[in-house]
């Protein structure tokens, strides 16, 4: 990696929104470092292959900071997340602990560890969800965690005031990702129902969300902002 280039550090860039986000940053002159269980296969991306839920904090911190030899402009994107199908009635403490760690605790820790390496014009971007500000059934743990992500972003914005490092939360709508299709078990009827939630009657594409993330990361005017990238979601 070149110290003359800005650096993107992203979690979960092996597929979906994360993969497309890594690609956009690569094409715009960034070095890219992915942290996830599975490697991002894009040529030019460096990888730290770790299970962020199971790996010890010190292991993650040590491997991450070993990749950064001096302070530089860094864009940190918290993209990894997990979503269980659960309700209050079948709420599982074990699933909640995994969800809380990956979706909320890891973003807080990565931000804390990397902050001393960030120069002015760096950014910390959180990938939230429309469920950061609303709820639907059968997403109890996920909805709680994504509300927490939004609160974390707002706290970070206040704590970094005056450091010229901006933060915001990009909240995708229903996006055609592997996680979505696994969650509905590729059920055509459920996918069609989700499609009809969009004002133009289609699923959003990972590339579209990636473009919104890049815009948020490279425009400090969005500091503290919640950007809903949902295509005009229809409330039913």
Residue 136 banded pLDDT, cuts 50, 70, 90: confident
pLDDT of residue 192: 65
- Whether 136 is covered by a domain: the verdict is yes
Nearest-CA neighbor of 75 among 132, 11, 19, 17? 11
Cα dihedral 192, 132, 142, 51 sign: positive
Asked if the structure places residue 236 within a domain, the reply is: no
Residue 215 lies in a domain: yes
Instruction: Give pLDDT tens digits for 164-202.
Output: 999 999 999 887 767 766 666 676 777 666 676 777 877
Burial of 120 (0-12, 13-18, 19+ CB in 10 A): exposed
**Residue 1 is assigned to a structural domain of this protein:** no
59 — phi, psi (to 5°)? -65, -45
Q: What's the CATH number where 213 sits?
A: 3.40.50.720
CA distance 200 to 231: 7
User: Tell me, what's the pLDDT at 179?
Assistant: 72
Percent over 90 (pLDDT), the chain: 78
Is 234 within the bounds of a domain?
A: no
Number of domains in the chain: 1
Convert the pLDDT of each residue in 17-52 to its tens digit: 999 999 999 999 999 999 999 999 999 999 999 999
Position 2 in a domain: no
Task: Tell whether 30 is covered by a domain.
Answer: yes
Give the structural domain span for 182: 7-229
| Residue 18 main-chain phi, psi, to 5 deg | -60, -40
Whether residue 73 is predicted with pLDDT greater than 90 in this model: the reply is yes
């Amino acid at each position: 990696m070149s110290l003359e280039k800005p650096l993107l550090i992203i979690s979960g860039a092996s597929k979906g929104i994360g993969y497309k986000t890594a690609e956009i940053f690569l094409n715009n002159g960034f070095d890219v470092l992915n942290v996830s269980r599975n490697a991002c296969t894009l040529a030019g991306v460096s990888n730290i292959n770790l299970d962020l839920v199971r790996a010890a904090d010190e292991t993650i911190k040590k491997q991450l900071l070993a990749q950064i030899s001096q302070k530089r402009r860094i864009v940190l994107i918290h993209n990894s997340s997990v979503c269980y199908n659960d309700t209050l009635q079948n709420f599982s403490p074990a699933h909640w602990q995994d969800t809380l760690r990956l979706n909320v605790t890891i973003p807080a820790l990565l931000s804390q560890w990397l902050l001393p390496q960030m120069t002015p014009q760096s950014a910390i971007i959180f990938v939230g969800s429309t469920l950061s500000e609303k709820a639907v059934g059968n997403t109890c743990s996920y909805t709680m965690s994504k509300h927490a992500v939004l609160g974390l972003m707002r706290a970070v914005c206040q704590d970094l005031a005056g450091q010229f490092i901006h933060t915001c939360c990009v909240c995708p709508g229903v996006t055609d990702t592997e996680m979505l299709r696994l969650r509905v078990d590729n059920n055509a009827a459920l996918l069609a129902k989700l499609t009809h939630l969009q004002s133009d009657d289609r699923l959003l594409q990972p590339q579209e969300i990636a473009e919104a993330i890049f815009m948020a990361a490279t425009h400090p005017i969005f500091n503290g902002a919640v950007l809903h990238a949902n295509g005009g979601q229809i409330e039913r």
